[in-house]
């Protein structure tokens, strides 16, 4: 199939995944003690509290995200299903782009992979809960997509974009540090690249990835 036709299929899959979240969460998304903390943090931000007032052991990006609809007067509890539906649609679109080969003609395999992605029960068990995992998944997928673009073009901009994505993932869930470390190791051990260039690229990636966390810790 052509690349245009493939993009159309991925767009339909993205709309389907977001629609499924909306249609099956009419009573809201599930909550746990962690979810309650995120919601309370979002509400405190809407009431004028600063990021510095949030406890450091709770990464801030997810509460910030679910607080944004509150600027329109919508409580985080009421907007969560829409936020997660948008994240699901975006994650599907990014995944579809990630598995697409860089060829003019595309086989059925990446289409099947995208369908498996949106139909996997484990994915929806996460997206139905008020957890930070959906945002974390989206940021990591985008990170991998940017890294792939960097490897294809050697663009410093794509490398910085990948670093920013993994840095934001770290202030969504601190487990993101493992992916940042893996990225540094990959850049240091990449074959066919001179050692000074590898060191320069790894240092650039590491510094850019660390900025969101360092800023958060400085506030705390």
pLDDT of residue 192: 83
At 87-121, the pLDDT tens digits run 999 999 999 999 988 776 778 899 999 999 998 88
- Is a pLDDT exceeding 90 seen at residue 63? yes
User: What per-residue confidence (pLDDT) applies to 135?
Assistant: 96
- Rounded to whole angstroms, the Cα distance separating 202 from 180 reads 10
Please say whether the beta carbons of 165 and 149 come within 8 A: no
Grade residue 220 by pLDDT with cuts at 50, 70 and 90: low
The Cα–Cα gap between 165 and 64 comes to 16
């Amino acid at each position: 199939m052509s690349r245009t036709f493939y993009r159309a299929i991925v767009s339909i899959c993205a709309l389907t995944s977001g629609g499924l979240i909306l249609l099956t969460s009419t009573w809201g998304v599930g909550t746990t003690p962690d979810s309650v903390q995120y919601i309370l943090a979002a509400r405190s931000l809407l009431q004028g509290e600063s990021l510095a007032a949030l406890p450091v052991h709770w990464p801030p990006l997810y509460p910030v995200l679910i607080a944004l609809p509150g600027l329109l007067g919508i409580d985080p509890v009421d907007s969560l299903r829409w936020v997660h539906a948008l994240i699901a649609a975006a994650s599907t679109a990014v995944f579809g782009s990630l598995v697409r080969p860089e060829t003019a003609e595309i086989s059925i395999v990446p289409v099947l992979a995208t369908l498996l992605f949106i139909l996997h029960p484990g994915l929806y068990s996460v997206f139905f809960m008020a957890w930070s995992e959906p945002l974390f998944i989206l940021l990591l997928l985008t990170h991998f997509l940017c890294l792939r673009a960097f490897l294809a073009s050697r663009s410093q901009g794509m490398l910085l974009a990948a670093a920013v994505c993994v840095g934001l993932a770290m202030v969504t869930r601190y487990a993101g540090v493992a992916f940042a470390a893996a990225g540094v190791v990959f850049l240091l051990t990449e074959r066919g690249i001179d050692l000074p260039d590898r060191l320069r690229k790894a240092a650039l990636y590491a510094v850019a990835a660390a900025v969101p966390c360092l800023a958060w810790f400085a506030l705390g």
